[in-house]
Amino acid sequence: MIPDKRELLAVARGDLPADLVLQDARIVNVFTGELESGSVAIFGDRIAGVGADYEGRDAVDLRGAFLLPGLIDAHVHIESSMVTPAEFARAVVPRGTTTVVSDPHEIANVHGLEGIRYMLEASEGLPLSVFVMASSCVPATHMGTAGAALTAQDLASLRDHPRVIGLAELMNFPGAIHGDDEVLAKVEAYSDLAVDGHAPGVRGPALNAYVASGPCSDHECTTAEEAAEKLRRGLFVFFREATNARNLEALLPALTPRNSRRVALCTDDRQPPDMLDEGGIDMMVRRVIRHGIDPVEAIRLATLNPAEYFGLTDRGAVAPGRRADLLVTESLDELRPKQVYAGGVLVAHDGKARWPTPALRAAPAPAMNVDVDAVDLSIRWRASRARVIEVVPNQIVTGSALAEPSRTGDLVAADPGNDLLKICVIERHRGTGNTGLGLVRGMGLQRGAIASTVAHDHHNIIAVGVDDRSILEAAGAVAEMGGGLAVADESGVLARLPLPVGGLMSEEPIEEVRAGLDAVVGSARALGSPLHDPFMAMSFLGLEVIPVLKITDQGLVDVDAFEKVGLWVDA
């Protein structure tokens, strides 16, 4: 409850009792880097006073436990959790994250503005504050077919929503660097707010141009040197630890006491098993501390720093007037929230959520405009070398290799013995009948196929397999579910996980979705894939803004050259 400001001030002065006083706390002061002993008075959803002795209608003696601001995830695609915002909250809030800055560009690629509005509605009234950055690159490029395209005008129409606070990652970095009209128009529409960047590997003069075009941050660094250069050029750098892009350890050497104010933490894309087993921002803070960074400094990376970057002056610190989003922990070295308060309400205790599950919000109807039976996956063989997408484990970048494919008759055949499999992207939004075909190394299936509608960012049906029949079985199962993940072999479907909300999210509890995901992943691994999560790996093979070789429904894309290329090198 937002308190009356006059009453809040009366509580701050000590003239009215607080709703709740947290006594004998060791307060983590992110402004000064100090630990302060004292109490914190809460009124409504706000902190009224810090430090002084306050009277309250309720009081909790923290017995010297640490009290710190709720954690902030600077950049996350909630859709990657495969659950609705309410279920996402149930996973992250008990672990101490009380605010996320989300980019709903997954569902926006499927359902456009309707998808973004759904995410805003579905995140109303949660103990998690969900802010939204307007998705700047829908579609990511015109080298893939998405379900929607958002213009600068579409994006500007979102600005009035109180939880829309900036422009989301400007992934079209070549367009930004080269001053593409539409890209600059989008930046202009949000020039007074935070504009997030996305510039993997961009350095030197190109980086100067990217920064000059408008973005204020980057979360795609993979080396400490890259992070250091981006910090020097004025970008805020978000260190990322996603399920399939684990950059934190590599970037920590770039962190110094002098530049740390311009660093924040983000999860970007994390899936249910990692969310439930490892955690999210809380896990990142623990790792930063374990790396040897002072705990208060580590906590700043996930509190004050992102709050300042995004202009969220109502949070990110334990201070008068700010939201009473607070964690209690008995150790800073092994930060584990014992209690979590959101807006002054105890919402989690010992890692257990303590709020009622809200009613489901009506999701957009499933988008599945495809006839899988009509898809032809055959590739005519040539006596030539073919481009092969190479999976890099735990990274979303790929390699690009050349190989001479096997044949069956005059058609290319997968060659599981050499880990050379078929990959396809089947357009599912507009009924174009587009199917992109290619070869992939590193998925490791020995038989059968996997298929999914989680295929960044266009979220068409992506599938990898050893034979066409298995691929079509898996793809057909996915289409039938209105979206989701499936595993098949020639005998039929082996496992499936329905994700009917945009083909990205389930409305079931996260524990059930996790079990379903474990089942399909287990089934895929039983077919021979050595990858931790073959679906997650596959989901980024279609993202034509991450180097170097990717596939969309329109075919292969050389991301460095930023153009479509044929399968055969000498074609």
Q: Residues interacting with a copy of itself, by CB under 8 A?
A: 5-6, 8-10, 12-14, 29, 31-34, 36, 46-52, 54, 177-179, 184, 204-209, 211-214, 216, 228, 231-234, 256-259, 261-262, 296-297, 308, 311, 313, 317, 319-322
Closest distance to a copy of itself from the beta carbon of 207 (Å): 8
Query: Residue 38: CB partners within 8 Å, gap ≥ 6?
Result: 25, 27, 50, 51, 52
- Concatenating the DSSP letter of every residue in 438-488 gives EEEES---SSSEEEES--TTT--EEEEESSHHHHHHHHHHHHHTTSEEEEE
Rounded CA gap, 130 and 121, in Å? 10
- Closer residue to a copy of itself, CB minimum distance, 194 or 245: 194
- Closer residue to a copy of itself, CB minimum distance, 6 or 570: 6
Dihedral (Cα; 322, 323, 328, 334), 10-degree rounding: -80
Contact in structure between 17 and 55 (CB atoms under 8 Å) = yes
Closest distance to a copy of itself from the beta carbon of 176 (Å): 8
Rounded CA gap, 21 and 40, in Å? 6
Residue 420, Cβ density class (10 Å: 0-12 exposed, 13-18 middle, ≥19 buried)? buried
Closest distance to a copy of itself from the beta carbon of 171 (Å): 17
Identity at 41, one-letter amino acid code: A
The H-assigned helical ranges of 198-278 are 204-213, 224-232, 248-251, 272-277
- Closer residue to a copy of itself, CB minimum distance, 1 or 52: 52
- Closer residue to a copy of itself, CB minimum distance, 6 or 333: 6
- Closer residue to a copy of itself, CB minimum distance, 156 or 401: 156
- Concatenating the DSSP letter of every residue in 29-68 gives ETTTTEEEEEEEEEETTEEEEESS---BSSEEE-TT-EEE
Smallest CA-to-CA distance from 285 within 266, 268, 269 is with 266
Q: List Cα–Cα distances, 494 to 107, 463, 481, 521, 522, in angstroms.
A: 27, 15, 14, 11, 10
Extract the tokens encoding 317. Answer: 């610190």
- Closer residue to a copy of itself, CB minimum distance, 31 or 566: 31
Closest distance to a copy of itself from the beta carbon of 150 (Å): 21
Rounded CA gap, 174 and 147, in Å? 22
Rounded CA gap, 141 and 493, in Å? 33
Closest distance to a copy of itself from the beta carbon of 212 (Å): 4
Rounded CA gap, 455 and 340, in Å? 34
- Closer residue to a copy of itself, CB minimum distance, 258 or 362: 258
Closest distance to a copy of itself from the beta carbon of 4 (Å): 9
Q: Is 152 helix (H, G, I), strand (E, B) or coil?
A: helix
Closest distance to a copy of itself from the beta carbon of 253 (Å): 14
- Closer residue to a copy of itself, CB minimum distance, 225 or 490: 225
Extract the tokens encoding 213. Answer: 């075009």
Closest distance to a copy of itself from the beta carbon of 163 (Å): 14
Closest distance to a copy of itself from the beta carbon of 244 (Å): 29
Q: Count of CB atoms within 10 A of residue 192's CB?
A: 10
- Closer residue to a copy of itself, CB minimum distance, 54 or 535: 54
Closest distance to a copy of itself from the beta carbon of 482 (Å): 41
- Closer residue to a copy of itself, CB minimum distance, 51 or 364: 51
b/e map 261-273, b = 16+ CB within 10 Å: ebbbbbbbbbbbb
Backbone dihedral angles phi then psi of residue 378, each to the nearest 5 degrees: -70, 140
- Closer residue to a copy of itself, CB minimum distance, 38 or 498: 38
Closest distance to a copy of itself from the beta carbon of 177 (Å): 7
